[in-house]
């Protein structure tokens, strides 16, 4: 039965999400249940593409990514894929009418990670759009469930939230990106001599994104607001912890939020939401 394959495909995306990201998994749990499959499918898809460029070091990454890209658009055309993760993703794209241009921009950013690039401000901003902002917009299409007016009103905050999450990831992973993968995303920053001023400038940019994003979260439908707010508060907590780490230590330290802290943040956020402070 085709329904059995559909279910297995969504379960595959769910497993990937829960294995790779406890923070997003917790947030998804607080979305309305009818949104779960779609958000799992989006995360599973982007995670798999990211793994190709970040982890498959002894394999032909470009060939694998090209195959992944080809299979994605073939699935969107046919309405089916023998790759369960791509299959669940294309089901979501079709159901929520997600713009294919968002997918194209995402895969373009993944392709950039196959080469060592010296990022200018323009290239950096373009990469953020493709690797993070468009993912936020894919999720927004699910959250508004076809309400085009609401989507248009929340597009900029959704972009800002995706950008904030990605930039926090860049700071958290700066050591591994630079010393293991040979990547330096931040424009005009010499990571061999990462200064306090460099770090503060990056943090100010991230904080501005968080502020703009929060205004959008407040306007999300009840079906998605709490789950997104929990993810927001987790990342903002991680950001504050990163801010406390001196610049000369950030290249040797990977900041984390432990699971008990994540649970406490989720409980606090539920309380805030219940008494309508958001």
Residue extents of the structural domains in the chain = 2-274
Domain 2-274 has CATH 1.10.600.10: yes
User: What's the residue count for the chain?
Assistant: 278
Asked if 234 and 30 count as a contact pair (C-beta separation under 8 A), the reply is no
Asked if 113 and 126 count as a contact pair (C-beta separation under 8 A), the reply is no
CA distance 9 to 7: 5
Q: What is the model's pLDDT at position 247?
A: 86
CA distance 255 to 239: 9
Asked if 55 and 148 count as a contact pair (C-beta separation under 8 A), the reply is no
Q: State the Cα angle at 16 between 11 and 17, rounded to 5°.
A: 95
Which of 68, 61, 113 lies closest to 89, judged by CA? 68
Q: What is the model's pLDDT at position 267?
A: 79
Q: What is the model's pLDDT at position 62?
A: 97
pLDDT along the chain (278 residues), means of 10: 92 95 84 96 97 94 97 97 98 97 97 88 93 97 95 97 95 86 88 91 96 95 94 93 89 80 77 68
Q: DSSP alpha helices (H): ranges in 97-120?
A: 100-112
CA distance 89 to 74: 12
Tell me the per-residue pLDDT of 221-260, one tens digit each, with 9 for 90 and over.
999 999 999 999 999 999 999 999 998 888 888 888 777 7
Q: What is the model's pLDDT at position 146?
A: 87
Q: From the CB of residue 112, how many other CB atoms can be counted at a distance below 10 Å? A: 19
pTM: 0.92
Q: What is the model's pLDDT at position 278?
A: 62
Q: What is the model's pLDDT at position 275?
A: 66
Asked if 162 and 215 count as a contact pair (C-beta separation under 8 A), the reply is no
Asked if 248 and 194 count as a contact pair (C-beta separation under 8 A), the reply is yes
């Amino acid at each position: 039965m085709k329904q059995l394959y559909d279910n297995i495909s969504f379960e595959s995306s769910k497993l990937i999400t829960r294995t790779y990201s406890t923070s997003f998994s917790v947030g998804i749990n607080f979305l309305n249940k009818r949104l779960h499959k779609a958000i799992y499918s989006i995360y599973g898809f982007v995670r798999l593409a990211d793994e190709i460029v970040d982890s498959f070091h002894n394999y032909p990454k470009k060939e694998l990514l090209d195959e992944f890209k080809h299979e994605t658009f073939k699935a969107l055309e046919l309405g089916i894929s023998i790759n369960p993760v791509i299959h669940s993703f294309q089901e979501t794209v079709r159901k929520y009418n997600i713009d294919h241009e968002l997918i194209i921009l995402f895969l373009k950013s993944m392709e950039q990670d196959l080469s060592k690039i010296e990022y200018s401000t323009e290239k950096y901003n373009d990469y953020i759009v493709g690797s993070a902002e468009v993912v936020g917009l894919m999720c927004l299409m699910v959250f508004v469930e076809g309400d085009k007016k609401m989507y248009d009103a929340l597009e900029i905050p959704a972009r800002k939230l995706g950008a904030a999450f990605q930039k926090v990831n860049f700071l958290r992973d700066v050591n591994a990106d630079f010393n293991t993968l040979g990547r330096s995303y931040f424009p005009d920053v010499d990571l061999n001599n990462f200064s306090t001023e460099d770090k503060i400038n990056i943090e100010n940019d991230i904080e501005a994104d968080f502020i703009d994003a929060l205004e959008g979260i407040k306007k999300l439908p009840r079906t998605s607001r709490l789950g997104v707010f929990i993810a927001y508060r987790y990342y903002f907590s991680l950001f504050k912890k990163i801010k406390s780490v001196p610049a000369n230590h950030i290249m040797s330290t990977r900041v984390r939020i432990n699971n008990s802290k994540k649970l406490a943040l989720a409980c606090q956020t539920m309380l805030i939401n219940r008494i309508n402070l958001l």
